[in-house]
Structure 1
Amino acid sequence: MRLSIVITTVWLVLCGNLSAQTILNGSIVDGQTGDPLIGASILVKGTTTGTVTDIDGGWTLTVSGLPTILQFSYIGFAPTELEVTDVDQDLTVRLGDNAITTDVVEVRGRRISEKQQQAALTVETLDAIAIKETPAANFYDGLGSLKDVDLTAASLGFKIVNTRGFNSTNPVRSLQIIDGVDNQSPGLNFSLGNFLGASELDVNRVNLVVGASSAFYGPNAFNGVIAIETKDPFLQQGLSVQVKAAERELFEGGIRWAQALKNKSGREWVAYKLNLFGFRANDWEADNYDPVFGTDLSRDNPGGYDAVNRYGDEFNRSFSFPSVNGLGIIRRPGYAEKDLVDYNSENLKASVAVHFRLNPERSLESTELLVGSNYSTGTTVYQGDNRFSLKDIRFYQHKVELRNRDNFFLRAYITHEDAGKSYDPYFTALRLQDLHKTDGRWQSDYRNTWIRDIQPQVNNLENFPECNGCSIPERRQAEREFYASPEVQALLPGLHDQARELVAMSSSFGTQDRFIPGTARFDAAFDSITSTLLGQGGTRFFDKSALYHIHGEKQFRSVWQPQENSALDLTIGGNFRQYTPNSQGTILLDTMGRNINTSEFGIYGGGTMNLPKVKLSASLRADKNQNFDLLFSPAASVVFSPQPNTTFRASFSSAIRNPTLNDQYLFYNVGRAILLGNIDGVKDLVTVQSFVDVISMPIPDVGQLDYFDVDPIQPEKVRTFEVGARSTIGKSLYVDATYYYSRYTDFIGFNLGLDVSIFQGNLSDQQAYRVAANATDIVTTQGFSIGSNFYFANYFSFNGNYSWNVLNTQTDDPIIPAFNTPEHKFNLGVSGRDIPFNLFGNPVNSLGASVNYKWVDTYLFEGSPQFTGPIQSYGMLDAQINFTVPRIKTTFKLGASNLLDNQVFQVYGGPRIGRLAYISATYNLVKR
């Protein structure tokens, strides 16, 4: 009897142990199309045990015993439950296609999860299906159709994403992370778009957090965060290949391979993925030859004018000759950007990542060790304070991370950059002109040539006034009137062309003939200049900067449960970062042994109280940069959900922005002015207006000059109050509306001033400076946005969004804010998915198409003195059609951005952006 009891007990224990190790397998598919659902959730009811489906819709889950109830859900589909009583039970689950559900909201192509629906901040998402359906040429451009987003193109290879104003081509107020890793350039302190980024084949989702977010993401998450999530090699295995061809001789190709390996127990314990991406195209040419905004001379000035994309023709006060008949104001010919820039845009990206499960039996719940490296190189045009040719620039990024999903992570990474053969085309033009003739020699030769060779041609005209017997003043007056006559004015452009041709040839000691683009002589001089470093007679950059970062975070779930369905979750974390800039003085003040290495650290903590229908959150972050005081970023929010599909939210968020290395240490001459960092302050500058007033006097009075000082730069702070609502109206309409008001203190912009030399009471020389500075007044902005999606006719959705943003502050503060944002903009689009049609008599259920129209209001773009001017309102129409051929596992896509070829400027000084029609094929071989 005792023996039977022992045997029974052992049997029950063994059964219990076996049941604890029960492994269930199944798949989740679309109930209508039969397509696998990638990333669908499986959860053991009443627990936190769960998993998600892989790229084939398959899943594996270890449960504690049978029977058990599993909950299946996927964004956009009604959830379902299933009781599992047998390990051999068929677990192929077909989810019904309900466009609107109580748990999640979907308008096809733009899905909103419950987590996002209840987020305190505005979050816009581009997921894998939306990436497939975007009519833009690539997923990064597709972000431009999202609500609140400004996307501008300085070139094909350099796109800028920004939100809520201050849309600089140096996007220092936005943070871009890929799997938690900041992918900024260590020397520039901002991201170069997707140049150092992820291949489209490896992108799983892009979340765009709009607004101040330092309390959640750290410094520089000032106006928004672009969070790119790549595909997990455990969950999305197999081979993917994509090729794309387009106008402008664009060719793009990518390949992704991911595989998981099993241990002796049949558990997947290590997975790896390899990515390779290549891109090349003929870039848009910057060929705006309009006069620079705000300059006095028009195209009609015979002696020349200052054109936007022609460099070396800028203003010089000594080039004015009002007393020489017909000469007037002259300008050096300069060089067009197209003669100075490599428009063969290229980008090569390679990455490898290996994921180790330290406890394979726990599957997704296992702690993982991740090791990865990324490499990127290429050539593109970058627009900052000048237009720059980034040639053969290289980035290296290495990461190691220990994580447990929704529990903790410890992450460390390093980013190195090498400027390669990058150079400044603007200064290249100036150096070419200096090799020909200095400014002083050129204007002297021009004046002498005019008097010696040009004026006699005019004086030989039949009706030239003889004025015999006239006094000298009378003769000069008669000649001036003659030169002002329509007859002579019509001749002046041709006469100035003659003068320029004559001056182009060397005529004095120490000068050379002008370097003519396209000649071997020009190429030799150009190569010599662009291969010599800035400050050493050339225009090449040196930048081998790096950043080192370590970040850890721990989450505590349900630390307090005051009542049923209520729980308090806590999160704590901290990070440390070290910048090691190295420009050898070509960009920063890091010469003469000066150490400008900079470190910063931050710690943060916060909690979320989940109550029935209410979510309360609060957090606090403290950041310390070695050059600035300790700063705090608090945040708090309340989210109220009276119904599962309706959410109201109110939040207070804050952010800080530490001055970039450029704000602190920059020393860079852009021609019209020297751009100056301001870590120590600047004294005794002269206001531009007082200088203009004084030199306009008949007898300049230097005592009328106004002097001012600029205090050392300080971190920028913003506090934002935001309210919003998200709801499903009826069964087919989703609406999301937001209003925000932001208040900036110590706003970072720049001041213009002059360092004036005075000798014996007279002006002798002056140098213009653009100094990084904080606003003395409070700067405020506000905005409103609304987006909606309407699902209709089973396969289609209509989407639209509108954004309004304004800079409220109008003061006498000399700061130049560079708001650079249209007051009004909107997107309207229609998309369809899984539309039934016949191809060569065979039914196909995977046809998709979308059309999007974007309209942007007129606004003033404030950049460097050369690149400040208006951006005219414009509209752009994008469209695409795609379909999948299952037998060859390939999706084909045909589309065009800016379909109507509306030539538009998106940034002042940049190129006109035209149509880019493309065709692509994407092959997916799923590894089971």
Structure 2
Amino acid sequence: MSKLFTQFYVFMLLCATGFAVQAQNITLSGTVKDKQTKEPLVGVTVVVKGQSGGTSTNSSGVFTFTTAAKAPFTLSASYVGYGAIEQQITSSTSGIVIEMEAGTILGGDVVISASRTPERILESPVSIERMSAAFIKEIAAPSFYDALNNMKGVESSMQSLTFKSINSRGFNSNGNTRFNQYIDGMDNQAPGLNFSVGNIVGITELDVDNVELLPGASSALYGAGGINGTLLMTSKDPFKYQGASFQYKTGVNHVNDDNSSVQPFNQLDVRLAKSWNNKFGVKAAFSFLQAKDWFGNNYSNFDRVSRTAKAGDRNSDTNYDGINSYGDEVSQNMRNVALSVQNATISGISAGSGGAIPNIKTLMDGAFGAAVPNAAQQAGFLANLPAALRPAVQNYFPFYVGLKANLIPDQNVSRTGYNEVNLVDYDTKSLKASGAVYYNITNTVQAVAQANWGTGTSVYTGSDRYSLRNFSIGQYKLEVKGQDFYLKGYTTQERSGDSYISSILGSYINEVSKPSTTWFPQYIGNYVGARAAGQGDVAAHTFARGVANQGRFEPGSPQFATAMNTIMNTTISATSINATDPTKSVYGAKFDDKSNLYHYEGMYNFNNAFNNVVEFQVGASYRLYDLNSAGTIFNDLNQSIDINEYGAFAQIGKKLFNDKVKFTFAGRYDKSMNFEGRFTPRITGVFTVAKNNNIRASYQTGYRNPTTQNQYIDLSVGGGSQRLIGGLPEIMFGKYKLDVNKAYTDVSYRAFLGSVATGVPNPALLQQYTFDAKGVRPESVQSYELGYKGLILPNLLVDAYGYYNIYKDFITAVDVYQNVGTLASPTFVKFGVPVNATGEVNSYGAALGLDYLMNKWSLSGNVSYNQIGDLPVNYINDFNTPKVRFNLGLGNKEIIKNFGFNISYRWQDKFYWNSSFASGNVPAYSTLDAQVSLKIPSVNSSIKLGGSNVMNKYYITSYGNPAAGAIYYLAFTFNP
């Protein structure tokens, strides 16, 4: 694959040289000043409109650069906190004076992502949110990514301090596969996960030029995925943003946290950029964050069948399974274990006696009759047996007595687990580095070579809690782009580092300390002994657990540390459990993922060719997923897995009725090697009802393919109690034979276990589950939207929309149980398999946003409403979204000279969270972020004192994930 990527690079370079033409350059120079104070402005971006290249003003407000443009042309100047300005150049190219006025012009932003062509945000045909460099500079949140929550209709699921999944319009999830995220046109997903890992490995704050977010479906322009939305982040051009800048942020978190003392929070960001002769530019950015992560400490009792919380704790429930406790997922029915010991003893005694004693239970029943033997009677019976058989029969007596006296209850017992804090690495780190080289081939054609790389330690929630330690993702791109086209290729290289599954780790530490084949019989035998001695049920359970836990590796002990270190550094695929000799068992919880993504894409815009009479664009893409997990995630231990996808789109738009109406039609066709092709159309209309007042209407469609894991996963989870497998026929039927040896539904399996516990197994209770012969297939959505955006007053911007979505073929999952033994002696294996839900799912909602500016004051607010409609039978509701949430913001960039502030308040309603990890109620919560800032013009710097969740009210955004408290920080920024 690397050879293919290299060949494509060479091809693009050859294409780039074809655009090169010689031109006579001229030099532009001048000064940029504040219109009122006449003071020079430092760091203003000055470019020739419609061309690549440009520069920034120096410490004296002076700019100079060369261009191939011929007069007349237009200079464009932009600066944080000032309205953008354009100035016509007709003759003189030196001594140019540009005066800029402080303030922000509402509705003046230009966006690209809504139509893949520049347009005013007021004229966007679909809902769009935008965050500019000026906005980012003023935010109160610790990072611009945290501030995405302040956007209208946007929500997030926080799995850890640095891992957040962004979403809009419902169906939120921990790892959001329904939401696309791009950085400089590169899909930021981890190939092995199929979703973006937040901004852990992403763009650094000092290098962000703008962020655009499209709520809702966007497949017609961006391909598979993006059913719930698309986020596009664009970094700064070194021709427009030059010089050195850095930011150091220090602070604390875990204030008044019962889990930890106050912990430090530190982050350093650096950016360097330089250009020469408006031809060659380079930039580099670096960011390093270090902090103590939030603690997963939800120890609510968990029903693994319904995936919901239940009453009880370790002291009151023998089958306790804490949500953030791992190892206690391993559970067995007490009576089933006793019956298993009984059957094994009968077989062993029969073989050991050479068939002389075919059934030791029958012999004992004959000796004792209906009575339950006491200790003396048991000793007398043993004395009459051959010496070689006595130990086995003596070990069997507690089970014989327990079953005969009905002392063994029909209930499950779980092993004692370990809390997440003892298993997961909470020492969060995030290191991001990026670099790019730019070359202006002509005044309108630019070549870019870019590399983004990051590594870090964090915690992610999927079907389990995963400790991501020292994982890394690299993205490398080569692109040639002009005002009418682009051609690019990039690769994403994912490396799992030392990442592992926490529940597997907890379970395997238990197995190393004492195998479950020993622990459960020991527990039940001592329970029977305690009950026979006259103890009550609760006391007997307490006694039994205490005996069974003897030898357990306690957190902090050398044995625990040794076992943990060995297991977390041994791969899952190396696990080999030896039931006859546990000392030879090998246990591993580590991933070994080295998956890659290769993507090639091109687009041409014919607008200029058609003299802008009609807008017309075409584009095409090809993508390859190269999965490499060495059998630790995917079914690739003994085979290679590649997934090929390709697609093409076209879009045509036309303004009518004196430019009062604009219609756009777009369509895209995509094909994955494992699924049928998909066509996703889009129709939009924008109607200008008055100057700067527009009504928009759209019909959009979207779809997403089953993820790489939905297709090819083959992974043990839940402490080893379940196996997740892909939904493709080659996995379900080819490897696990679920079409020949059909599995049973979860409900019928539970009913069968109930019959086993009575001692009279009833196989007729088992009901087979039949999978679709074609396996799992893509899900899709149709979205209808009506919206309005306009300036009611010159300083009051209103944005409102309503939407209605229709989803089909939702990808969900089922748990089934396959019998790999016989009906007489069944052995069941539990599988989690992705399937498509039947029927349609409808959702609808609305949002309203207001932005008001008065002098240097800004007031903003938005409210969002989301609701799900009627659900098909047996559909598991994972809407995972509050009905109502709102944001309020107030700020002043300079309430007194050089001093400003900003506050943001957020509230959301309670809702029910449903996921493959855990399900439960997320309480309503509110947070307040605030900051005050001081500009220091003499050294072109600023100081910001702020905090997120300053009231320090701990809250969760999704059930089973950590609660977040306050972060208080002080930041110093040079050359912002």
TM-score, structure 2 normalization: 0.80
Matched, 1:726 2:806: no
How far apart are residue 522 of structure 1 and its match? 1.0
The equivalent of 2:890 in structure 1 is: 830
Task: Measure, in 2, the Cα distance between the counterparts of 1:69 and 1:158.
Answer: 43
The equivalent of 2:323 in structure 1 is: 308
The equivalent of 2:866 in structure 1 is: 805
Flag the 1:298–1:894 CA change in 2: closer, same or farther, 3 A.
same
The equivalent of 2:195 in structure 1 is: 190
Residue of 882, 888, 892 corresponding to 2:933: 882
Q: Is the partner of 1:447 in helix, strand or coil?
A: helix
The equivalent of 1:255 in structure 2 is: 270
Task: Measure, in 2, the Cα distance between the counterparts of 1:850 and 1:125.
Answer: 18
How far apart are residue 59 of structure 1 and its match? 6.9
How far apart are residue 347 of structure 1 and its match? 1.2
Task: Measure, in 1, the Cα distance between the counterparts of 2:787 and 2:524.
Answer: 66
Task: Measure, in 1, the Cα distance between the counterparts of 2:76 and 2:268.
Answer: 39
Residue of 588, 607, 611 corresponding to 1:557: 607
Partner deviation per Cα, 1:563-606 (whole Å, 9 max, x = no partner)? xxx7212111111111110111111111223x321111111111
CA contact (8 A) 1:753 1:770 kept: yes
The equivalent of 2:594 in structure 1 is: 544
Flag the 1:354–1:73 CA change in 2: closer, same or farther, 3 A.
closer
Bigger shift: 409-418 or 325-334? Answer: 325-334
How far apart are residue 822 of structure 1 and its match? 1.4
Flag the 1:758–1:607 CA change in 2: closer, same or farther, 3 A.
same
Partner deviation per Cα, 1:33-60 (whole Å, 9 max, x = no partner)? 657497778777xxx5798763667475
Matched, 1:598 2:598: no
Task: Measure, in 1, the Cα distance between the counterparts of 2:411 and 2:190.
Answer: 46
Matched, 1:609 2:667: no
The equivalent of 1:786 in structure 2 is: 848
Aligned pairs for 1:512-661 (under 5 A) are 513-537=551-575, 538-560=588-610, 567-593=613-639, 595-611=640-656, 612-661=659-708
The equivalent of 1:172 in structure 2 is: 177
The equivalent of 1:746 in structure 2 is: 809
CA contact (8 A) 1:23 1:87 kept: no
Flag the 1:591–1:105 CA change in 2: closer, same or farther, 3 A.
closer
CA contact (8 A) 1:55 1:236 kept: no
Bigger shift: 281-290 or 852-861? Answer: 852-861
Bigger shift: 695-704 or 531-540? Answer: 695-704
The equivalent of 2:510 in structure 1 is: 433
Task: Measure, in 2, the Cα distance between the counterparts of 1:409 and 1:64.
Answer: 21
CA contact (8 A) 2:484 2:604 kept: yes
CA contact (8 A) 1:454 1:499 kept: no
Aligned pairs for 1:270-349 (under 5 A) are 270-292=280-302, 294=308, 296-299=310-313, 301=316, 303=318, 305-314=320-329, 316-319=331-334, 323-324=406-407, 330-349=413-432
Partner deviation per Cα, 1:735-787 (whole Å, 9 max, x = no partner)? 10111111122221222332246745x68333332211112211222111111
Q: Is the partner of 1:526 in helix, strand or coil?
A: helix
Partner deviation per Cα, 1:301-326 (whole Å, 9 max, x = no partner)? 16462211111223634147994499
Flag the 1:553–1:751 CA change in 2: closer, same or farther, 3 A.
same
Structure 1: which amino acid aligns with 2:201? L
CA contact (8 A) 2:840 2:871 kept: no
Flag the 1:59–1:624 CA change in 2: closer, same or farther, 3 A.
farther
Flag the 1:32–1:445 CA change in 2: closer, same or farther, 3 A.
farther
Task: Measure, in 2, the Cα distance between the counterparts of 1:523 and 1:806.
Answer: 48
CA contact (8 A) 2:214 2:231 kept: yes
Partner deviation per Cα, 1:661-713 (whole Å, 9 max, x = no partner)? 11111122222432221111554332223333444456554323332212201
How far apart are residue 539 of structure 1 and its match? 0.7
Partner deviation per Cα, 1:614-637 (whole Å, 9 max, x = no partner)? 221111111111111221111111
Residue of 685, 695, 712 corresponding to 1:665: 712
The equivalent of 1:904 in structure 2 is: 955
CA contact (8 A) 1:121 1:211 kept: no
Q: Is the partner of 1:275 in helix, strand or coil?
A: strand
The equivalent of 2:725 in structure 1 is: 676
Q: Is the partner of 1:125 in helix, strand or coil?
A: strand
Flag the 1:52–1:799 CA change in 2: closer, same or farther, 3 A.
farther
The equivalent of 1:468 in structure 2 is: none
Flag the 1:52–1:451 CA change in 2: closer, same or farther, 3 A.
same
Number of paired residues? 832
Partner deviation per Cα, 1:317-353 (whole Å, 9 max, x = no partner)? 4147994499976432111111111110111111111
CA contact (8 A) 1:77 1:101 kept: no
The equivalent of 1:774 in structure 2 is: 836
Task: Measure, in 2, the Cα distance between the counterparts of 1:401 and 1:65.
Answer: 26
Q: Indicate the percent of aligned positions where both proteins have the same amino acid.
A: 32
CA contact (8 A) 1:78 1:101 kept: no
The equivalent of 1:109 in structure 2 is: none
Aligned pairs for 1:750-761 (under 5 A) are 750-756=813-819, 759-760=822-823
CA contact (8 A) 1:569 1:607 kept: yes
Structure 2: which amino acid aligns with 1:270? F
Structure 1: which amino acid aligns with 2:547? L
CA contact (8 A) 2:330 2:415 kept: no
How far apart are residue 644 of structure 1 and its match? 2.7
Q: Is the partner of 2:574 in helix, strand or coil?
A: coil
CA contact (8 A) 1:652 1:720 kept: yes
The equivalent of 1:796 in structure 2 is: 857
Please identify which structure carries the higher strand content. 1
Task: Measure, in 1, the Cα distance between the counterparts of 2:510 and 2:94.
Answer: 81
Residue of 524, 539, 547 corresponding to 1:502: 547
Task: Measure, in 2, the Cα distance between the counterparts of 1:98 and 1:643.
Answer: 24
The equivalent of 1:850 in structure 2 is: 902
Flag the 1:304–1:768 CA change in 2: closer, same or farther, 3 A.
closer
Bigger shift: 272-281 or 300-309? Answer: 300-309
Unaligned stretches of 5+ residues in structure 1: 1-18, 107-112, 262-266, 460-482, 506-512, 837-844
Partner deviation per Cα, 1:217-236 (whole Å, 9 max, x = no partner)? 11112211110100101111
CA contact (8 A) 2:786 2:801 kept: yes
The equivalent of 2:357 in structure 1 is: none
Task: Measure, in 1, the Cα distance between the counterparts of 2:80 and 2:422.
Answer: 52
Residue of 383, 394, 399 corresponding to 2:472: 394
Q: Is the partner of 1:896 in helix, strand or coil?
A: strand
TM-score, structure 1 normalization: 0.84
Unaligned stretches of 5+ residues in structure 2: 1-22, 112-117, 253-262, 336-401, 576-587, 733-737
Bigger shift: 73-82 or 426-435? Answer: 73-82
CA contact (8 A) 1:159 1:193 kept: yes
CA contact (8 A) 2:107 2:120 kept: no
Matched, 1:413 2:490: yes
How far apart are residue 818 of structure 1 and its match? 2.4
Task: Measure, in 2, the Cα distance between the counterparts of 1:604 and 1:176.
Answer: 19
Flag the 1:339–1:197 CA change in 2: closer, same or farther, 3 A.
same
Flag the 1:102–1:737 CA change in 2: closer, same or farther, 3 A.
closer
Task: Measure, in 1, the Cα distance between the counterparts of 2:970 and 2:615.
Answer: 47
Q: Is the partner of 1:707 in helix, strand or coil?
A: coil
CA contact (8 A) 1:752 1:771 kept: yes
Task: Measure, in 2, the Cα distance between the counterparts of 1:578 and 1:805.
Answer: 35
Matched, 1:862 2:895: no
Residue of 750, 766, 771 corresponding to 1:692: 750
Flag the 1:129–1:423 CA change in 2: closer, same or farther, 3 A.
same
